[in-house]
Amino acid sequence: MLEFGEVKNVEKSSSLTQETKEYYMQLALAEAKKAQAIGEVPIGAIVVLDGKVIGAGHNLREHDQDATAHAEMFAIRQACQNIESWRLERSQLFVTLEPCPMCSGAMQLARVEEVYFGAYDPKGGAAGSLMEILTDERFNHWSYVEGGILSTACGQLLTDFFRELRKKRKAAKKSPNPL
Ligand code: ZN
């Protein structure tokens, strides 16, 4: 298991400064806020190549009624379309929450070079919490993975969202049936 801030893969290293990592995570956070604004669980992701954002996305599971409508999937798809290649070698992906097995798998297939996430997801994370898809050297591609980038801001967004949701549900229960 990866400890907070620990990097498992010693052969790979980050190509970015802490300041740059936080800058890009802010952009992923801005994506997450787009999800929040439409009542979706606030998770956002971006893909960066050569200092340019080539893909962005946010969670749309409810709107699309699609279990696979995760932020990372949209960001990866857009990035591939942008550079007209399924290979995202040399790219960096930033996501506000630790990726799930599906998204980690997609990143692995797309050969994303570096993956940075914000908050840890102890119940669904596949980048260190429950499993380590991206750094498993049995695969033919593995990535540099770093968690905990702006983790407080990323986690707070989720905590606030679920607190609001509970409040709304409680209020709806309390109010008399209008029908
Ligand atoms: Zn996912």
Q: Is 98 a catalytic residue?
A: no
What are the two backbone dihedrals, phi and then psi, of residue 172, each rounded to the nearest 5 degrees?
-65, -35
Bridge-based pairing of strands 44-49 and 52-58 is antiparallel
| Residues measured by CB to lie within 5 Å of ligand 1, the ion | 70, 100, 102-103
pLDDT digits (tens, 9 = 90+) for 81-134: 999 999 999 999 999 999 999 999 999 999 999 999 999 999 999 999 999 999
Run of H or E residues at 72: helix 71-83
pLDDT digits (tens, 9 = 90+) for 23-36: 999 999 999 999 99
Mean pLDDT of 150-160: 98
Residue type, 19: E
Handedness of CA 91, 97, 99, 103 (dihedral sign): negative
Catalytic residue from among 19, 22, 62, 72: 72
Distance (Å) from CA 12 to ligand 1 centroid:
23
**Nearest-CA neighbor of 108 among 140, 74, 148?**
140
Distance (Å) from CA 95 to ligand 1 centroid:
10
Distance (Å) from CA 71 to ligand 1 centroid:
7
Mean pLDDT, the chain, integer: 93
In this prediction, residue 141 has a pLDDT band, given cuts at 50, 70 and 90, of: very high
